[in-house]
Amino acid sequence: MAETQQRLEDRRPLSPHLQIYRPTLTMTMSIVHRITGAALYGAFFLLAWYFIAAAAGPEAFVWASWTLTSIPGLIILFGATWALFTHLLGGLRHAIWDTGAAMDEKGREALALATAIGGVALTLLVWFAAFSLR
């Protein structure tokens, strides 16, 4: 019985997976949405660290601040900023789709492109503003 079941499972057809399809923009932005979401999970550890260090006292804060503003720290924060805005715009894209709008080919291609470009643009804008302020 168990043997028959095992063999049946082996013979079950698999649904086509990622490598079968030609990459498209909407597919890429869907994958990017999930990856940026997972990356922001990690970025939240850094955010928590900043607040905890600030509450803990001067030494802890200097240590956190020094790490986050080091070259690797800045690269990670830049990536986190891009992940934040791309994920935010991706979320807004889903909110628009939730209303039933922009689900045709033209609409979804335009939204995917807007997400990709907007994410980069907002990242550059915020970093430019941050550097001009300090």
Partner 1 sequence: MANNSSSMRTDVSKVRFLGSARNGTHHAWAMRVTSLALALLTIGFVFLVMTLVGRSYEDVVDIFGSYIWPGVVALLFTLVGCYHMKLGMQTIIEDYVHGEQTKLYLLMANTFICGLIAAAAGLAIIRLSLG
Would you say how long the chain is, in residues?
Answer: 134
The residue count for binding partner 1 (CB under 8 A) is 32
Q: Please report, as residue ranges, which positions from 62 to 101 form the binding site for partner 1 (by CB under 8 A).
A: 62, 65, 69, 84, 88, 91-92, 94-95, 98
Our finding on whether 27 is near partner 1 (CB under 8 A) is no
CB 82 within 8 A of CB 74: no
What is the distance between the alpha carbons of residues 49 and 30, in angstroms, rounded to a whole number?
A: 30
What is the distance between the alpha carbons of residues 93 and 51, in angstroms, rounded to a whole number?
A: 31
Residues lying near partner 1 in the complex (CB under 8 A) are found at 34, 37-38, 40-41, 44-45, 47-48, 51-52, 54-58, 61-62, 65, 69, 84, 88, 91-92, 94-95, 98, 126, 129-130, 133-134
